[in-house]
Amino acid sequence: ETVTETEATKKPKKEKSDEEEEEEEEDEDVQTIKCTGAVLLHPEPSSNSSTLATIPAGVDVKFIRNENNWYYVEYDGQEGYAWGNYFTAPVTTEE
């Protein structure tokens, strides 16, 4: 008689933590946009707020959401707001 692998002998799958699952879900519909002109990254959707960084033209950033044309993006490990007119339109990439 040939012995086949049973459920009992299979290695159990490592269960993912909630945090890992959330990260995977976010990565599934990541939107990348290109900066069309140097733009400042702010902690709040206001040009009066401090500057976190300057995003140079031609750089791709992760688009998170749009708040009244202030794009909340991730650039170089930092998240913040940048004026939406300086980016290409967000497009969801399906893999």
- Between residues 90 and 81, the one the model is more confident about: 81
Q: In terms of Cα–Cα distance, which of 74, 70, 36, 72 is closest to 56?
A: 36
Q: In terms of Cα–Cα distance, which of 66, 72, 87 is closest to 42?
A: 72
Structural domains for the chain: 30-92 (2.30.30.40)
In tens, the pLDDT along 25-73 reads 445 578 999 999 999 999 999 999 999 999 999 999 999 999 999 999 9
